[in-house]
Amino acid sequence: MASYRFCRSDDIPLLVDAHNDCCAVHQPGEPRLTVEGFKRAVNELNLWSSSCALAFVDGRPVGVVLATKRDRATLIHRIGVKKSHQRQGHGRHMLTSLSNKLAILGPPRLEAELPADDPDLERFFMACGYRPGEAFSDFVLETPRQVPAAAELAIPVTLDDITASGAWDPAIPRSWERTLETLTNRKEQLSGLAVASDTRIEAWLLYFTPSQGGPTQVLALGGPPGQQSRSLLAILMARCAGEAAAGVAIPGVSPAEIEFARLEGWGFRRTRDFRTHVATAGAG
């Protein structure tokens, strides 16, 4: 017999095991979640156990939803059902229960960031009332670039410098990992480079270098319109890449944040496309 429930903070180990049994098994390249990783996502992505749900059959977890929650929206961070229990309504039941809960408690906006190479997952979300929204892509640069002489123009900056100067553009659509809320949660881990004139920041980027190896992640970048900003941003990116021992990744970037043709011209390779799908709580 199937049963369902939302979770508490003491359910985190159970949620971690359920994720690894019900989600990670469907994505061979995805690392297994740990309790430490879950708690890090609580701090950085606002993943709350009270927004997570489990499906049980005969007392054992067969499905899980991990959801983050902010004032603006709730993101379906992960969803999965064991292969032996798929197509029995467990995933839809968990999504519907979360939607009904948020229709009362808010926020009313639900989001899911779905990979473009998984049409079955998209059809599932569409059947649950979600509709396509903004598109994003991941890029990697595996070969370090030579640092140009003009890189000495770069100065270190922080996220607070970028927001205080007005260089941050709130109108640009951003994936959950790149939102201002996520970057604020992670700002002590971020490094930044910029080129500034007497009146404004002309180009800038913020990045994170994992302490345990892996590519440097550029999590935000920008500058005012114009060829000068584009040229200066290329210099900043080359300096960042030249100092990155394990290459550079730009996860979840929108073409509104930077043109993809420019990234490809700098030697970046596009590795994954995905699209946000959006629903209104209680609408289905």
121 Cβ contact list (under 8 Å, min separation 6): 114, 115
The pLDDT, as a whole number, for residue 211 is 79
Ranges of each domain in the chain: 2-107, 139-274
The pLDDT, as a whole number, for residue 49 is 96
CA-CA distance, 87 to 106, in Å (whole number)? 29
Where residue 59 falls (left for φ over 0; alpha for ψ -120 to 50; beta otherwise) is: left
With a pLDDT cut of 70, the percent of the chain lying above it is 96
**Residues 32-48: tens digit of each pLDDT:** 899 999 999 999 999 99
Q: Please tell me the CATH code under which domain 139-274 is placed.
A: 3.40.630.30
The pLDDT, as a whole number, for residue 25 is 67
State if pTM tops 0.75. yes
**Residues 191-236: tens digit of each pLDDT:** 999 999 989 999 999 999 987 778 999 999 999 988 888 889 999 9
**Domain 2-107: which topology?**
Aminopeptidase (3.40.630)
Cβ count near 43 (within 10 Å): 10
The runs of H, that is alpha helices, within 118-277 are 119-127, 159-165, 180-185, 227-242, 260-265
In order of 50, 88, 127, 195, the CA distances from 214 in angstroms are 32, 39, 37, 27
Residues of the chain with pLDDT under 70: 25, 28, 144-151, 284
The pLDDT, as a whole number, for residue 145 is 58
2-107 and 139-274 agree in CATH topology: yes
